[in-house]
A and B are shown apart, each in its own frame.
Chain A
Amino acid sequence: GENVEQHPSTLSVQEGDSAVIKCTYSDSASNYFPWYKQELGKRPQLIIDIRSNVGEKKDQRIAVTLNKTAKHFSLHITETQPEDSAVYFCAASIETGGSYIPTFGRGTSLIVHP
């Protein structure tokens, strides 16, 4: 099955700095890569996603890059703010039975210090 590795497990930055979270996946059949943000005590919510036919996608301060050859993808957050503090999960998805089933990384706890 798919295996997703995520690094780092904890990331501490100063407000205004950039943050980068990296993930690798093992199954070349994976073709959809969402990122979820989970605030303390809340549910995970999608913040950005990328499909295998795209190399980069940006949404305001958040960007995601995908290197299919190397099987890795990254989340970039610029100008970090304290409200960006949360656990971030990457996922690699494979179509199974008509649905995209994600395998999640173990999460990165991002702490933004004011």
Chain B
Amino acid sequence: DTAVSQTPKYLVTQMGNDKSIKCEQNLGHDTMYWYKQDSKKFLKIMFSYNNKELIINETVPNRFSPKSPDKAHLNLHINSLELGDSAVYFCASSQGSGTYYEQYFGPGTRLTVT
């Protein structure tokens, strides 16, 4: 059974387009995250949701908008894509709720903007 899944796995698009990446977890976790991993492998948190509520929003352009329709899903919508948005985007989840729990990462979505 897949714990954290993302679609699509690969996304190639042109500058200026709008795209979405979907994430679902079947672990019953309370908290979900989006990370961006650049070409130098730096893993940087973008957003975190706890029980559908935004709890952290790092400095990312407002072209990026997360949407959490329920506790098991956290989607990422990106408007007006730019070359610098090319990266691997990881969704993750954790138990949260004030306890020390590991992050379970999805397989990643490799976004290439041309």
A residues sitting closer than 8 Å to B (CB atoms) are: 32, 34, 36, 38, 42-46, 49, 51, 87, 89, 93, 95-104, 106-107, 109
Note all chain A residues with C-beta closer than 8 A to B50: 97-99
The total of Cβ contacts below 8 Å across the A-B interface reads 72
Interface size of B as a range:
20 to 34
> Is B7's CB within 8 Å of the partner chain A?
no
Say how far A88's CB is from chain B's closest CB, in angstroms: 11
B56 pairs with A98, CB closer than 8 A: no
Say how far B21's CB is from chain A's closest CB, in angstroms: 14
CB-based closest 4 A-B pairs: A97-B55, A99-B96, A46-B102, A43-B105
Stretch at the interface among B38-46, B66-74, B77-85: B38-46
Main SS at interface, chain A = strand
B residues sitting closer than 8 Å to A (CB atoms) are: 30-31, 40-45, 48, 50, 53, 55-56, 90, 94, 96-103, 105-108
A32 pairs with B100, CB closer than 8 A: yes
Q: How far is the CA of A5 from the CA of B53 in the complex (A)?
A: 30
| A106 in contact with B42 given A97-B50, A99-B31 (CB within 8 Å) | yes
